[in-house]
Chains A and B, each alone.
Chain A
Amino acid sequence: AQTVTQSQPEMSVQEAETVTLSCTYDTSENNYYLFWYKQPPSRQMILVIRQEAYKQQNATENRFSVNFQKAAKSFSLKISDSQLGDTAMYFCAFMKQGGSEKLVFGKGTKLTVNP
């Protein structure tokens, strides 16, 4: 079974600074997807970024980028130029490709952006 570990329950960062959230996972699969989801206080889970395991290039979405290290089974999220609206819970998630498409989540990191 796959497991996802987020080792930082809480983090804080000053507005406009950069912060990195850690995520490691354990799997014997070779083909899979990794995701970062954001859950603000409104509770709506929002997809931040997606990475296919077969792609060596790290995914980027505006201020959000990942550092995907397949051999190390590591998938960290970097948020540049942090904004107050980035305050949220962030969940790392794993999905096996070609299977039942269910997501396995980490326990989350609560990020607070301070003014």
Chain B
Amino acid sequence: DVKVTQSSRYLVKRTGEKVFLECVQDMDHENMFWYRQDPGLGLRLIYFSYDVKMKEKGDIPEGYSVSREKKERFSLILESASTNQTSMYLCASSLKNSPLHFGNGTRLTVT
């Protein structure tokens, strides 16, 4: 089975802090994604990557950046966390033209 591991299940940070959310997959998938999930809004794509060192903006990239230095790892970075970034963050990976496999999510609270 594919395993997508997000480093933290819960995270509490202060406004203005730099925050790193880490995601690792173990199935050599080319594609990796970061989504944000908010009640009533569903899942919205922040960034995705289809190869090492490649990245593309999703629908809501403002306030976020990403890093993919190795194929198995995709990091989401909040340069200066704000309270409106309090949310559930979901990482996913996939092969080409295949369903996404998701991690367990990181619930981030920014105070």
- A residues sitting closer than 8 Å to B (CB atoms) are 9, 33, 35, 37, 42-45, 47, 50, 91, 97-98, 100-108
Contacts and interface: CB of A to CB of B under 8 A. Distances in A.
B88 A47 contact: no
Contacts of A100: 31, 48, 50, 56
Interface string B85-99: 000101010101111
Q: Is the interface of A mostly helix, strand, loop or mixed?
A: loop
B97 A101 contact: yes
Nearest to A31: B97
Contacts of A9: 40
Interface residues of B, number: 26
Interface stretch (B19-27, B75-83, B100-108): B100-108
A91 B35 CA distance: 14
A101 B94 contact: yes
Contacts of B100: 45, 47, 103
Contact of B102 (A33, A44, A98): A44
Contacts of B90: 45
A105 to B, nearest CB: 4
A98 B97 CA distance: 7
Nearest to B31: A101
B42 A101 contact: no
Contact of A42 (B92, B97, B104): B104
A101 B96 contact: yes
8 contacts: A33-B99, A47-B101, A91-B42, A100-B56, A103-B92, A103-B100, A104-B45, A108-B42
